[in-house]
Amino acid sequence: MSAPRVLTVSWEYPPVIAGGLARHVCKLSERLARDGVDVHVLTRADGPGGTEHRHGVTVHRVAEPDFPRQDIDAFIAWVQRMNGHMRTAALALDDGFDLVHSHDWLVAAAAGSIAREWKVPWVVTVHATEYGRHGGWVRRHPQSHIHAQERRMVRGADRLIACSAYMREHVAEAFGIDPEPIAVIPNGIDAGDLQPVADLPALRARFAAPDERLVLLVGRLVHEKGFHLALDAVRTLDDRIGGIRFVVAGSGMAEAGLRAQARELGLAGKGTFIGWTGDEVLNSLYRIADLCVVPSIYEPFGLVALEAMASGCPCVVADTGGLREVVPAGRKVGLRFRASDSASLARMAEELLGDDALRDRLVAQAREHVLQFDWTEVARRTETLYDELRGANLKRAWHRPRT
């Protein structure tokens, strides 16, 4: 069978980056293109739209003004307009695509409509759900609106991909569908991309003295990432062993509350909120930190932990969601703490920071462990799924209610 021609639809694609999804779609698209797949990406542009070629991928950008970050109703209206513009742009392209592959609910309306118009299969990768982000509380607006969009997406797609076995079960439970046909294809990582700045000692000196321990927190500053638990644990950890400093890399709706919490805990002089940062600085933070904490309450996968381990930074992660697969219990590549329990987190962090031999073992084994999350394998499994769909008699088995 010849290599497929695929239209990938995503609301972000480098250099337009809002979170981790952009990197996932970019790495997967480039690896598929390297393997001979004709990949076109439909996405948005911060400025004028247009078509460009990036590393073997044809990228079609639709001009959209920057999205509203504080007003959720304005954001939902913006998403609807973006989907309309994306649909118009796609239908102006040459036909001949074999399938449409979209990522999460933000572009589902456009992707589903395009696939129906072209009469081709529609593949959806579910990276996270509103149901999971809000612990199942999706009856009120705007959560109810987003949950309904996700439900329509999940039940309308011809094939679903989840990034972890946990997410396969979670999607099935959240939407009352059969988990069996949901493909599990994890995120990948390329350690060669994790290049740091040239002067690591100078960077570390900005955040901690040589005799201090630096704790790193990375991600969107939202409740489900659990950074409020980490700040409580940092306070306890500093009381017990002293000399603790922390750095928070990320931005989000919870930033003001986290800064206020740090002040209330007496941590204002012991850490730094640096906001969103580019890849080079982020990759460097993994190299200079003594510990990376991933305290998520809800975590579909756990890419931050994977990046940290690939960079030689030991991890303490919450025992929840996809983190259990990234940091498995049966193999010592990192420590896990009881989810949503800051006291348990503080104990695990103290154990790791106080035992250099343990740290060295974890770092060595983690470097081997991350090799299984390889983009070449991720792309191979994705293309296999594409081939299964092309020309198949599509049966949406996951529409069956879960028994």
- For 28-83, the pLDDT digits (tens) are 999 999 999 999 999 999 889 999 999 999 999 999 978 887 788 999 999 999 99
SS3 of residue 99 by DSSP: strand
Q: How far is CA 206 from the centre of its chain?
A: 28
351 and 322 belong to one structural domain: yes
269 and 250 belong to one structural domain: yes
pLDDT at 330: 73
55 and 127 belong to one structural domain: yes
SS3 of residue 137 by DSSP: coil
246 and 270 belong to one structural domain: yes
Dihedral sign, Cα of residue 285, residue 25, residue 383, residue 181: positive
pLDDT at 331: 66
- Give the CATH number for residue 232: 3.40.50.2000
Q: What is the Cα–Cα distance from 314 to 292, expressed in whole angstroms?
A: 6
288 and 252 belong to one structural domain: yes
pLDDT digits (tens, 9 = 90+) for 260-291: 999 999 999 999 999 988 889 999 999 999 99
282 and 363 belong to one structural domain: yes
* Domain extent at residue 228: 191-372
Total count of domains within the chain: 2
304 and 323 belong to one structural domain: yes
Dihedral sign, Cα of residue 42, residue 65, residue 125, residue 119: negative
378 and 368 belong to one structural domain: no
161 close to 182: Cβ distance less than 8 angstroms: yes
306 and 168 belong to one structural domain: no
Q: What is the Cα–Cα distance from 333 to 190, expressed in whole angstroms?
A: 18
218 and 176 belong to one structural domain: no
Tokens of 264: 């209330």
41 CB-near residues (< 8 Å, 6+ apart): 7, 8, 9, 10, 13, 25, 29, 57, 58, 59, 60
pLDDT digits (tens, 9 = 90+) for 87-126: 999 999 987 999 999 999 999 999 999 999 999 999 999 9
224 and 258 belong to one structural domain: yes
Cα torsion 135, 324, 17, 255 to 10°: value is 50
183 and 252 belong to one structural domain: no
Cα torsion 153, 156, 161, 164 to 10°: value is 60
pLDDT digits (tens, 9 = 90+) for 137-158: 999 999 999 999 999 999 999 9
